[in-house]
Amino acid sequence: MAAYSLLMLPGDGIGPEVMRQVRRVIDWMGRRRDLEFTVSEGLVGGCAIDAYGVPLSDETMAQALAADAVLLGAVGGPKWDGVSFDKRPEAGLLRLRKEMELFANLRPAVVFDALVDASTLKPEVVRGLDIMIVRELTGGVYFGEPRGIEDLGNGVRRGVNTQVYTTPEIQRVARVAFELARKRGNKVCSCEKRNVMESGLLWNQDVTALHAAEYKDVELSHMLADAAAMQLVRNPKQFDVIVTDNLFGDILSDEAAMLTGSIGMLPSASLGAADASGRRKALYEPVHGSAPDIAGRDIANPIASLLSFGMALRYSFDRGEEADLLDRAVQNVLKGGMRTADIMSPGMARCSTSVMGDSILREL
Amino acid sequence: MAAYSLLMLPGDGIGPEVMRQVRRVIDWMGRRRDLEFTVSEGLVGGCAIDAYGVPLSDETMAQALAADAVLLGAVGGPKWDGVSFDKRPEAGLLRLRKEMELFANLRPAVVFDALVDASTLKPEVVRGLDIMIVRELTGGVYFGEPRGIEDLGNGVRRGVNTQVYTTPEIQRVARVAFELARKRGNKVCSCEKRNVMESGLLWNQDVTALHAAEYKDVELSHMLADAAAMQLVRNPKQFDVIVTDNLFGDILSDEAAMLTGSIGMLPSASLGAADASGRRKALYEPVHGSAPDIAGRDIANPIASLLSFGMALRYSFDRGEEADLLDRAVQNVLKGGMRTADIMSPGMARCSTSVMGDSILREL
Ligand SMILES: CC(C)[C@H](C(=O)O)[C@@H](O)C(=O)O
Ligand SMILES: CC(C)[C@H](C(=O)O)[C@@H](O)C(=O)O
């Protein structure tokens, strides 16, 4: 069996400490489940700025393009607030997404039974919640041209960004959503602002056309993005798969993540197109950020990063069995009462990042 | 005393039936509080399409520009789904906002004591919630050029919208937010995506500069729009005034509104610049939409529209005393147990739109 190549990019803030726990699980899989990985490491974000003056070096970019999967921690922090716009830490992540053509970002918002009470929503509203948000990740206002800030003189400036989508961009991500829905609740809700934006109208029409041509068996609905922001609060369990653009996806997936009350638990996968051999470029990262305020203190929750590796097992390596093993190990440790600070509640046992890692390894 | 001119635009769906209750309160104010109004009515949205073929006629537009205040119900509905993009019902509302130059949209998200349990959030998270969202309303991606859908051939199209802001546009709405904050909790949180969009970076810098120059006494913070979508769920009471752009404001204000659990209660004001005599163009409307599914059944909640008229009393006519009267009447009716269907809960008395209007008038 050939070894899979993994590129680990721990990044900034709590990135390195949570990724250390991931590394332990990777090694365990190598030893115990006949799954061989060759692991390399690189820098992205603020730490890459400090080392190379850019948030992602060309060498690291090349390594990412060659890897079977990239595992990312988190990027950014106040330390780099003064850095110019095109060199900021986030630019490293955006370059990875764009050059790897990771157009489909899968963000599950799942409520773990043991953590229902961590939500600020009433338990009956969120118990059993299981939404999959499919966010377009390489288009829209994140990458559209023209863009920039223009000086008009007399202290007046003008800032411009461009929201742009084409039919193929819309349909390839919608396809991912429909395929996922077939393996889940068989419902897709597509969100845009077609009542205000022509790009949203096109989104709506292209999703509708693809549905009619190829996915009539899946139930499709459309919702304005503002209405979706409401409905996520009012009755989140109405949703199965949500598909939306880059910017709405950014906001709605963060909102959905917070409904669960435990954003330190949520993984994500960013996928490219399958090549002839069925292989997709892919990057996996937790939904949470770099949390600079708690970095280096061994208190961050490593579960989102661990479950992101679980998504890698599932989507990149077709090892659903190992992914299930990891999911179950996490569930059992939670059932046992182990909690990092972010999900701590009365009566549970508070533990550090590394002790959480220990417990999950023991459970495996 | 000169009479104030009010233009009522009931619009579509439940608009006409809730505005009938507003009309009763206007008449009461005229009879009992020496406040003289001359009231005219017009069409906007789908009903204007049906009557004139356009969602807002030039005559109605001229009336709106001449009025001391415009009171709007709601626009839109599935009936007009097939209408072309530039003739859709929403275009009528957008034309009003643009030509009246209503750049500042004030959207309070307030939890009424009697309705804490209507929220899907835990009572301790939302009790006493009182956020004011100030949304920029005449700029950004709603109006930016170029825009449109282009046919590239072979079934491929391209949809474009443009997000654009200039320094004066940003600073005039930020000024409204700072002024409001001074009369409330003295805190402003400005939201954008400066880590991704240059227009957001400009927003951030221009708000910061205005603050340093004129509003140092107000506490200013900045939050990414995605983080704000999270924090509204996690801990909404951290916010006092939020200022943000047109699109983020659309989404975040709807999310904030739904936190209260009773969007049928929430008013809004859209204000232009003050002229030499201190008069501002202004439009008042409920946050809720036209709810076509329940239209014509006398079950909609008229309170959001009534409180919108209350905002008119406060912001357009400087009659805080009458606005307080109306607020108190609403509070008392709620305390008495009267509830329209949308805010009904066990043990309360369910009532119709018109009976809710009766009760509030009686309370006045
Ligand atoms: C870090 C930032 C560029 C990024 C985004 O806006 O996409 C983040 O918020 C995310 O959702 O992954
Ligand atoms: C009706 C629609 C054009 C409008 C908007 O998007 O601004 C509405 O959602 C609102 O928030 O007032």
Supply the pLDDT for residue A1: 58
CB pairs under 8 A between A and B: 192
Is the residue at B119 inside a domain? no
Which ligand ends up closest to the CA of A289? 1
Report whether B66 contacts B96 (CB < 8 A).
no
Is the residue at B121 inside a domain? no
B309 annotated as belonging to a binding site for a ligand: no
d(CA A70, CA A284): 6
- Pairing between β-strand B267-274 and β-strand B104-110 as defined by DSSP bridges: antiparallel
Hey, is the C-beta of B147 within 8 angstroms of any chain A C-beta?
Answer: yes
> What are the φ and ψ backbone dihedral angles of A153, each rounded to 5 degrees?
90, 165
Question: Cα of A193 to ligand 2 centre, how many Å?
Answer: 9
End position of a domain, from candidates B237, B258, B279: B258
Supply the pLDDT for residue A95: 97
B89 and B164 together in one domain: no
Q: Across all residues in chain B, what is the average pLDDT?
A: 96
Question: Cα of A40 to ligand 1 centre, how many Å?
Answer: 24
Residue A250 CB less than 6 A away from ligand 1 = yes
A32 annotated as belonging to a binding site for a ligand: no
Give the residue from A248, A207, A193 showing the smallest Cα distance to B88.
Answer: A193
Give the residue from A310, A307, A300 showing the smallest Cα distance to A286.
Answer: A307
B216 and B325 together in one domain: no
d(CA B243, CA B230): 16
Which of B98, B130, B237, B254 is labelled catalytic? B254
Residues 265-324 of A with CB under 8 A from B: none
Give the residue from chain A lying closest to B193, CA to CA. A247
Question: Cα of A250 to ligand 1 centre, how many Å?
Answer: 7
Residue A196 CB less than 6 A away from ligand 2 = yes
B9 and B85 together in one domain: yes
Supply the pLDDT for residue B1: 58
Residue nearest atom 10 of ligand 1, based on CA coordinates: A250
* Closest CA of chain B from A121, distance in Å: 4
B148 and B254 together in one domain: yes
CATH of residue B89's domain is 3.40.718.10
> Structural domain of residue B237, as residue ranges?
130-258
Hey, is the C-beta of B97 within 8 angstroms of any chain A C-beta?
Answer: no
A291 annotated as belonging to a binding site for a ligand: yes
- pLDDT tens-digit map of A5-47: 999 999 999 999 999 999 999 999 989 888 899 999 999 999 9
Nearest to B198 among A122, A147, A156 (CB): A147
Supply the pLDDT for residue B322: 95
Residue A11: burial class (beta carbons within 10 Å; 0-12, 13-18, 19+) = buried
* Closest CA of chain A from B81, distance in Å: 10
pLDDT in tens, chain B (364 residues): 578 999 999 999 999 999 999 999 999 998 988 889 999 999 999 999 999 999 999 999 999 999 999 999 999 999 998 899 999 999 999 999 999 999 999 999 999 988 999 999 999 999 999 999 999 999 999 999 999 999 999 999 999 999 999 999 999 999 999 999 999 999 999 999 999 999 999 999 999 999 999 999 999 999 999 999 999 999 999 999 999 999 999 999 999 999 998 889 999 999 999 888 888 999 999 999 999 999 999 999 999 999 999 999 999 999 999 999 999 999 999 999 999 999 998 899 999 999 999 999 999 9
Question: Cα of B250 to ligand 2 centre, how many Å?
Answer: 7
B342 and B332 together in one domain: yes
Percent of chain B residues past pLDDT 70, beyond the cut: 100
* Closest CA of chain B from A208, distance in Å: 14
Question: Cα of B76 to ligand 2 centre, how many Å?
Answer: 10
B323 annotated as belonging to a binding site for a ligand: no
Give the residue from chain A lying closest to B153, CA to CA. A167
For chain B, how far is it from start to end, CA to CA, in angstroms?
A: 23
Nearest to A250 among B148, B226, B259 (CB): B226
A136 and A244 together in one domain: yes
Hey, is the C-beta of A257 within 8 angstroms of any chain B C-beta?
Answer: yes
Q: B141–A197: do the CB atoms touch at under 8 Å?
A: yes
Q: B163–A162: do the CB atoms touch at under 8 Å?
A: yes
* Closest CA of chain B from A201, distance in Å: 8
Give the residue from chain B lying closest to A253, CA to CA. B226
d(CA A83, CA A329): 41
End position of a domain, from candidates B258, B291, B322: B258
Q: A149–B258: do the CB atoms touch at under 8 Å?
A: no
Longest dimension (CA), chain B: 67
Q: A122–B125: do the CB atoms touch at under 8 Å?
A: no
CB contacts, 8 Å: B266 with chain A: none
- Count CA within 13 A, CB hemisphere, residue A177: 36
Is the residue at B122 inside a domain? no
Q: Which residues of chain A have pLDDT under 70?
A: 1
Is the residue at B13 inside a domain? yes
Which ligand ends up closest to the CA of B230? 1
> Which stretches within chain B are classed as H helix?
15-32, 46-52, 58-66, 89-99, 123-126, 167-182, 198-214, 225-234, 246-259, 303-315, 320-335, 353-363
Give the residue from A122, A43, A55 showing the smallest Cα distance to A94.
Answer: A55
Please enumerate in sequence order all residues whose Cβ is within 8 A of that of B128, keeping only pairs 6 or more positions apart, or say none.
B111, B113, B237
Hey, is the C-beta of B197 within 8 angstroms of any chain A C-beta?
Answer: yes
Hey, is the C-beta of A247 within 8 angstroms of any chain B C-beta?
Answer: yes
Residue B167 CB less than 6 A away from ligand 1 = no
Which ligand ends up closest to the CA of B94? 2
Is the residue at B82 inside a domain? yes
Q: Where in chain A does DSSP place strands (E)? A: 4-11, 37-41, 69-74, 104-110, 130-136, 144-153, 156-166, 187-192, 219-224, 241-244, 267-274, 280-286, 338-339, 349-350
> What number does the ligand 1 atom closest to the CA of B226 have?
9
Hey, is the C-beta of B80 within 8 angstroms of any chain A C-beta?
Answer: no
Residue B250 CB less than 6 A away from ligand 2 = yes
Which ligand ends up closest to the CA of A91? 1
Is the residue at B120 inside a domain? no
**Any bridge partners for residue B166, and if so which?**
A158
Residue B230 CB less than 6 A away from ligand 1 = no
Is the residue at A214 inside a domain? yes
- Asked about B240 being catalytic, the answer comes back as no
Q: A193–B247: do the CB atoms touch at under 8 Å?
A: yes
Q: For residue A24, give the H/E element and its range.
A: helix A15-32
Give the residue from chain A lying closest to B117, CA to CA. A122
B279 annotated as belonging to a binding site for a ligand: no
B171 token code pair: 């600073």
3 state SS of B79: helix
A229 token code pair: 């922001």
Q: How many CB atoms lie within 10 A of CB A52?
A: 14
A134 and A199 together in one domain: yes
Give the residue from B4, B5, B11 showing the smallest Cα distance to B292.
Answer: B11
CB contacts, 8 Å: B142 with chain A: 196-197
A157 and A98 together in one domain: no
B14 annotated as belonging to a binding site for a ligand: no
Residue A36 CB less than 6 A away from ligand 2 = no
Give the residue from B137, B143, B135, B138 showing the smallest Cα distance to B163.
Answer: B143
Q: Which of A197, A226, A230 to mutate for ligand 2's pocket (most ligand atoms within 8 Å of CB)?
A: A226
A142 and A253 together in one domain: yes
A25 and A98 together in one domain: yes
Supply the pLDDT for residue B181: 98
Report whether A246 contacts A142 (CB < 8 A).
yes
A154 and A82 together in one domain: no
Is the residue at B117 inside a domain? no
Please tell me the pTM assigned to this model: 0.96
Supply the pLDDT for residue B219: 98
Number of domains chain B contains = 2
Which of B250, B281, B284, B342 is labelled catalytic? B250
End position of a domain, from candidates A225, A244, A259: A259
- Asked about B250 being catalytic, the answer comes back as yes
B160 and B198 together in one domain: yes
